A and B are shown apart, each in its own frame.
Chain A
Amino acid sequence: MKQLVIQFLKSLRQSFQDLLPIILVITFFQLVVLRQPVPQLGEILAGGLMVLVGLSLFVQGLQMALFPLGEEMAYSFVRKGNLWLLLLFAFTLGFGTTVAEPALIAIADEAAQIAATGGVIADVEEARQSYATGLRLVVALAVGFALLVGVIRILKGWPVQYLIIGGYIAVVIMTGFAPKEIIGIAYDSGGVTTSTVTVPLVAALGIGLANSIRGRDPLIDGFGLIAFASLTPMIFVMAYGMFF
């Protein structure tokens, strides 16, 4: 218990250092560039304190739960030796964590609005809804597919760059054919898919797999899953824009 408190205090100090740049930037621009007083100082201080405690708790919980869980799952799957189950797990994890992602829901609704304004779909609530849902499913499928391919890559020991660069070339080629309105959204959708809870879990899973398979290096083979998860949504969303 005492150890936990000391750890937490350390983590608080670290979090304060992490947040210091934001405080400096905001203060500088507010006071020096814009020359405005800081509004609602009380709320800002309270909010800042919440951010500080929240970040410390998160980092603590990361080490206690998310990292060990991800690695433990990886070891168990390797010991079990059933490839199909591992692949099913990878796909489900990618699909399940993405489909409910709040940032993705927001961007899908916005995209539906754009498509409606651009005359791609009818500007009625129903059409927008089905377009937004379709987009969300497509992105979730893309992330599930990404983790699936990423896990196969770790098992086989393929170098990550061939797959990723191949994917980028596909993105560049598709950019030439996809409707103009979808390009910005497609590019952005790659960035929003990987949430704060998914990232540590997926990183731990990849490293756990690379650690438990002989001949794999955790640094070279363990990382890369997140890169796949940010690449495939671009391809899938542009394809969605081209065919629907």
Chain B
Amino acid sequence: MDALINFGGTILNMLTDVLPIAAILIGFQVLVLRRPILHPARVFVGLVFVLLGLALFLEGLELALFPLGRLMAEQLTTPSFILGEGADVITSFTWTDYVWVYVFAAAIGFATTVAEPALIAVSIKANQVSGGTITVNGLRFAVAIGVAFGVALGTFRIVTGTPLHWYIIAGYVIVIIQTSKAPRAIIPLAYDSGGVTTSTVTVPLVAALGLGLAETIPGRSALLDGFGLIAFASLFPMISVMAYAQISEWRTKRTRKTDSDNSS
């Protein structure tokens, strides 16, 4: 019964999320453009699918993944796990004590990104538009590797307490250098992938990990250090997607070169 009430609440939440969008679309289409919507029945059924699908998706995550993920983030950062049985507070530590945290951050960053619905949407579009050169899974794995690296580095930053902006600025410098070298066609997509990675699945788990770390490590403030992980998760996919394009371009060039060497 509770689950049903919860589900009703989620649907209601989704409705407040989708209604403004529907109102804007229909308002412009009917009042401003004065054009009927093509295949209205199909579009309506599709919108219901989107709404129902997202509600089920979020409710399922809330039931299965989020409690367990938050619990794990908590357990992995407790003093007794980090320093062994009997430790209640963390007094002295080195960054190597937190190896499992980095591994968990990378693994959960990768796994949640692969399941991120918005990224699936962009990958489908990129695949269609590129005529199949960019594969749906290739793009998603490239983005997921970026998020994995970003979140792991972000937890490392919280553990060591180094300033957030140095990492972000260094990341931007890499992005700028890569932009001048990478194939032109990948750049807009790479920039976009930074924004789509962090929505429904990734943010709650990653935020829980950041807050768990910031609360248990002495000298970190949950308010100042807990934030910022999401910024890491949106910066590094740009780098990894451009790197993915650069590597595939380099490999095509190399095979072409050996081919022409062989033929001459």
B47: Cβ under 8 A from any A Cβ: yes
A9: Cβ under 8 A from any B Cβ: no
Chain A 19-75 residues near chain B, CB threshold 8 A: 19, 21-22, 24-26, 28-30, 33-34, 36, 38-39, 43-69, 72-73
**Which of B48, B115, B199, B229 sits near A22, CB closer than 8 Å?**
B115
**Contact (Cβ within 8 A) A30 B195:** no
B68: Cβ under 8 A from any A Cβ: yes
Residues of chain A lying within 8 A (CB to CB) of residue B104: 25, 29, 33
**Contact (Cβ within 8 A) A72 B37:** yes
**Contact (Cβ within 8 A) B65 A26:** yes
Report the minimum CB–CB distance from B145 to chain A (whole Å): 12
Instruction: A55 to B121: give the CA distance in the assembly, Å.
Output: 11
**Contact (Cβ within 8 A) A61 B47:** yes
Q: What band does the interface of chain A fall in when counting residues whose beta carbon is under 8 Å from B?
A: 35 or more
Q: Contacts A93-B24, A197-B50 known; A188 to B230 CB distance under 8 Å?
A: yes
B4: Cβ under 8 A from any A Cβ: no
Report the minimum CB–CB distance from B245 to chain A (whole Å): 11
Q: Contacts A47-B63, A51-B57, A161-B187 known; A227 to B194 CB distance under 8 Å?
A: yes
Chain B 29-44 residues near chain A, CB threshold 8 A: 29, 32-33, 35, 37-39, 42-44
17 additional A-B pairs beyond A47-B59, A72-B37, beta carbons within 8 Å, are A21-B115, A22-B108, A25-B110, A33-B104, A46-B60, A46-B63, A54-B54, A54-B60, A56-B53, A63-B46, A65-B47, A66-B50, A96-B21, A191-B197, A197-B17, A203-B122, A204-B125
28 chain-A/chain-B pairs, Cβ below 8 angstroms: A22-B114, A25-B104, A26-B68, A43-B63, A43-B64, A54-B52, A55-B53, A55-B120, A56-B53, A58-B53, A59-B124, A61-B49, A68-B39, A69-B37, A73-B25, A85-B28, A93-B21, A97-B20, A159-B187, A160-B188, A165-B175, A188-B228, A194-B195, A196-B121, A197-B21, A203-B125, A221-B188, A227-B195
Residues in B lying within 8 Å of A, measured CB to CB: 13, 16-18, 20-21, 23-25, 28-29, 32-33, 35, 37-39, 42-65, 68-69, 71-72, 75-76, 81, 100, 104, 107-108, 110-112, 114-115, 117-118, 120-122, 124-126, 129-130, 164-165, 168-169, 172, 175-176, 179, 184-185, 187-189, 191-192, 194-201, 203, 223-231, 233-234
